[in-house]
């Protein structure tokens, strides 16, 4: 009888430990999903064939967290990387990352370059003269690694489909979302290769 009681007690402890493990894992995954939120914007309501327009990624990082910058000295950390899928008659000319901040954390020996709180990433896009009129989609990916002061979550990739409307040159177009794009200095952007080559 005493052996059976001990067995049940040990079994209960095992179930509690397993339950706490899965609860912790679920909280870990939930935290990863909620750490970073991203919204996309374009700079023109409509685009003429042969024109350029801008794309912005407005990144918000929860308090107490940060994401790595786009250039890192530590090879074990994952940089924030913005990429675009190839599309005929569409060329990605430049991209922009904001100036990172330097911070020291428990898991690093040196100061690291990071983005925290709010950051705006951008891209300058050229529309070819032969691109057909109508609604088009620009597919992009944002890869990042979120960390707190002690450790980092696994890297994560977000997928985006950004709509833009190509209209005849006789139709008027307007600049939009200038409160976002006024904060991006594309003169300090980094050159990218032509993704269509």
Three-state secondary-structure class, residue 3:
helix
Tokens 């409509």 found at: 46
Compute the mean pLDDT over every residue in the chain, rounded to the nearest whole number: 83
Domain that holds residue 90: 36-191
Stretch 119-137: mean pLDDT: 95
Whether residue 180 is predicted with pLDDT greater than 90 in this model: the reply is yes
Q: Is residue 26 part of a domain?
A: no
Q: Is residue 25 part of a domain?
A: no
Whether residue 195 is predicted with pLDDT greater than 50 in this model: the reply is no
What domain count does the chain have? 1
Per-residue confidence (pLDDT) for residue 174, from 0 to 100: 97
Q: Which of 26, 35, 97, 98 is nearest to 67 (CA)?
A: 35
Per-residue confidence (pLDDT) for residue 189, from 0 to 100: 54
Q: Is residue 186 part of a domain?
A: yes
Q: Is residue 127 part of a domain?
A: yes
Question: What CATH code is carried by the domain that includes residue 147?
Answer: 2.60.40.1250
């Amino acid at each position: 009888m005493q052996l059976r009681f001990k067995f049940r007690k040990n079994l209960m402890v095992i179930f509690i430990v397993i339950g706490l493990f899965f609860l912790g894992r679920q909280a870990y995954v939930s935290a990863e999903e909620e750490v970073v939120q991203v919204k996309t914007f374009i700079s023109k309501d409509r685009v003429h064939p042969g024109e350029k327009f801008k794309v912005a990624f407005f990144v918000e990082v929860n308090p107490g967290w940060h994401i790595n910058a786009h250039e890192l000295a530590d090879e074990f950390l994952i940089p924030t990387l913005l990429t675009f899928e190839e599309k005929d008659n569409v060329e990605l000319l430049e991209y922009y990352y904001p100036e990172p901040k330097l911070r020291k954390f428990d898991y690093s020996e040196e100061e690291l370059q990071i983005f925290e709180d709010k950051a705006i990433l951008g891209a300058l896009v050229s529309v070819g003269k032969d691109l057909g009129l109508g609604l088009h989609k620009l597919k992009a990916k944002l890869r990042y690694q979120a960390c707190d002061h002690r450790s980092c979550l696994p890297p994560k990739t977000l997928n985006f489909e950004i709509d833009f409307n190509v209209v005849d040159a006789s139709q008027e177009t307007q600049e939009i979302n200038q409160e976002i794009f006024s904060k991006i200095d594309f003169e300090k952007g980094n050159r990218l290769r032509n993704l269509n080559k």
